[in-house]
C-alpha cells in the first residue's frame, strides 16, 4: 500500500536539512584534507569556504540567466503565447505568488522547468512540444508543479545543491592533481616522509576521489524528495491529480536519447529527466527523479 504523500512532507523537510548539513560537512572535509596534506588544515578549510561562498553568490544572483541560457530558452510575451501566459497567470493567482515570466524552448521534446532565487524573480520554461502535445488539464498540472517549486523555494534549494556538488567536484579534482604533482616532486626530492606521511596521503586521496560521488548522490536525493512534494502541491493547487499523472506518463514516453534537452547539469531541474530513455530506469541511486511509477501511483491515490 502506498502511503499518501502529505504524510511525508514534514519528514522530507527534516531530511533535506540534514542532507544540506552533510553537504557542507563534506565540503569542509575536502578542504581540511587538502590543508592537512599541505601542512595547514585551517587554511584549507578557510580557502574552501571562500571558494564556495563566491560560487554560491554568483549562482544566487546570476543562476537564473545561466540556467535559461544553457537550456536554450527565450522569454515570450502575452501577445506571442496567450495560451501559455494565461495558464501561468491563472495558476499563479491561485497559488498566491507573483506571475513568473514565461519562457519557451523551441524543441518538440515535451518538458518543463522553473528557475529563480525567489518568486518575484522566477521563470517557468516549457518546450514547444509540451504545448503541442498536452491537453489543458495536463498542461495545468505541469505548470502547477513548476509553480509549486517556486512557491516552496525548491528552485533555490536545487541551485544551491548543484553549486555545492559542483564545488566539491572542483576542489576534489584540484586535490587529486595537487596530490599527484606533490607526490612526484617528493619522489624527485628524495621523499617527504615515512609511513605517517603515506597514510595521510592515502586518506586524502580516498576522500578526494569519493567526495564527488557522495556529493552527486546527495544532490540527486534532494531533487527526488522535492519532486514528490511538488507533485502533491500541484495536485492541491489544481484539484485534479489525474491531470499531472497523465502528463507525466506522456512526457516520459517522448524523451529521446541524445536529445536537445539532455544537459547533465540541468537534468534535475526538469519535471522529467531528459535522459530517462537513455538511462532506462529512474529508480537507481544516481537518478535525479523518483521512479515515474511511484510518482504516478501517489498522485492517483490522492
Which sequence positions are flagged as catalytic? 146
Residues in the chain, overall count: 302
> What is the CB neighbour count within 10 angstroms for residue 193?
11
Q: What is the Cα–Cα distance from 248 to 228, expressed in whole angstroms?
A: 13
DSSP state letters, 208-247: HHHHHHHHHHHHHHHHHHHHHHHHHHHHHHHS-HHHHHHH
Q: In 3D, which of 28, 34, 31, 30 has the Cα closest to residue 182?
A: 34
Q: Could you tell me the sign of the dihedral formed by the alpha carbons of 92, 87, 8, 151, in that order?
A: negative
Give me the residues paired with residue 207 across strands.
none
Distances (CA, A) of 47 to 9, 24, 28, 210: 36, 14, 10, 20
All cell numbers assigned to 149: 517549486
Nearest CA-CA partner of 268 in 196, 216, 198, 201 = 216
Amino acid at each position: 500500500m502506498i502511503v499518501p504523500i502529505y504524510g511525508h512532507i514534514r519528514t522530507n523537510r527534516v531530511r533535506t536539512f540534514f542532507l544540506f548539513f552533510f553537504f557542507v560537512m563534506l565540503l569542509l572535509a575536502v578542504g581540511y584534507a587538502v590543508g592537512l596534506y599541505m601542512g595547514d588544515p585551517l587554511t584549507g578549510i578557510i580557502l574552501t569556504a571562500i571558494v564556495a561562498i563566491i560560487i554560491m553568490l554568483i549562482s544566487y544572483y546570476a543562476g537564473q540567466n545561466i540556467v535559461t541560457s544553457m537550456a536554450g530558452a527565450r522569454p515570450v510575451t502575452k501577445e506571442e503565447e496567450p495560451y501559455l501566459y494565461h495558464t501561468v497567470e491563472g495558476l499563479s493567482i491561485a497559488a498566491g505568488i507573483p506571475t513568473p515570466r514565461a519562457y519557451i524552448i523551441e524543441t518538440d521534446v515535451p518538458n518543463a522547468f522553473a528557475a529563480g532565487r525567489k518568486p518575484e524573480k522566477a521563470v517557468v520554461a516549457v518546450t514547444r512540444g509540451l504545448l503541442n502535445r498536452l491537453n489543458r488539464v495536463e498542461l495545468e498540472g505541469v505548470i502547477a508543479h513548476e509553480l509549486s517549486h517556486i512557491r516552496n523555494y525548491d528552485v533555490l534549494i536545487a541551485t544551491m545543491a548543484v553549486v555545492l556538488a559542483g564545488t566539491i567536484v572542483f576542489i576534489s579534482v584540484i586535490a587529486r592533481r595537487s596530490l599527484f604533482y606533490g607526490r612526484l616532486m617528493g619522489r624527485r626530492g628524495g621523499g617527504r616522509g615515512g609511513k605517517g606521511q603515506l597514510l595521510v596521503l592515502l586518506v586524502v586521496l580516498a576522500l578526494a576521489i569519493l567526495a564527488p560521488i557522495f556529493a552527486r548522490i546527495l544532490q540527486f536525493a534532494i531533487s527526488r524528495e522535492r519532486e514528490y512534494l511538488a507533485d502533491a502541491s500541484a495536485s492541491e493547487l489544481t484539484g485534479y491529480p489525474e491531470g499531472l499523472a497523465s502528463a507525466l506518463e506522456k512526457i516520459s514516453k517522448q524523451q529521446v536519447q541524445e536529445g536537445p534537452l539532455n544537459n547533465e547539469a540541468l537534468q534535475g531541474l526538469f519535471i522529467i529527466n531528459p535522459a530517462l530513455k537513455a538511462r532506462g530506469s529512474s529508480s537507481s541511486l544516481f537518478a535525479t527523479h523518483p521512479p515515474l511509477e511511484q510518482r504516478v501511483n501517489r498522485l492517483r491515490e490522492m
